[in-house]
Amino acid sequence: MKSVAFLSAVLVSVLSPVATAYNPSIKPTFSRRYLLQRTAIIGGSAVLAPLTQFPQSSLAKMADDIELIKSTCDLYKSALADKATFVADLAAENSSTKIPLQITAITFQNLAKVAHTVDDKLDADDFPFVAVEYAEHAGAARDFAKLAKLGRIGENGSAEVALAYAEKCVVELEEASVLLDTLCQALL
């Protein structure tokens, strides 16, 4: 950042003697030389302006996205630590059990350029495809969790229906957890 400010100061001082020796009492003449110098200064500052605004926010966003993936991966592991309890809680009447939130596809698209190969699991070029597969399993788990809650309602609703959907939800959560763990390893 300091070098860019220095370069723009050098540009102003070298290309515009009028700018460095500006006197408000002297009216500038609008000669061709003066106009060319002013054009060079304005053009030079327009070229250097994007350099002064280095995309720090995108690096911070990437770090936040990686941290989101790590924390979600930990949530999956903690939810699946005791599968039997999770299934029973999910199938229970008036259940307040929540499944981990799904990470959006845009997050993975933004991080695909920094992903690397994970030995025997993932090639860096396959990162977006594995992210899509994760999204399919996480979405299916979310759908089965909703069906488990709705499985007790209506004429055909029963505890067995809710339990069957809860078990299918856990299977999908396991698949999503494995894929998310692989994606997390590709980012670290």
DSSP string, 57-85: HHHHHHHHHHHHHHHHHHHHHHHTTTHHH
Minimal CA–CA distance to 98: which of 133, 146, 137? 146
pLDDT at 82 over 50: yes
Query: Per mean pLDDT, which range of 73-82, 88-97, 175-184 is the poorest?
Result: 88-97
Q: What per-residue confidence (pLDDT) applies to 96?
A: 79
pLDDT, tens digit, 9 for 90 and up, residues 157-176: 788 888 899 999 999 999 99
**179 class by beta-carbon count within 10 Å (0-12 exposed, 13-18 middle, 19+ buried):** buried
Specify the length of the chain in residues: 188
pLDDT at 153 over 60: yes
Contact at 8 Å (CB) between 30 and 71?
Answer: no
Residue, of 92 and 51, whose pLDDT is higher? 92
Interatomic CA distance for residues 184 and 134, integer angstroms: 12
pLDDT at 21 over 70: no
pTM: 0.66
The model's confidence at residue 37, banded by pLDDT at 50, 70 and 90, is confident
Interatomic CA distance for residues 137 and 80, integer angstroms: 15
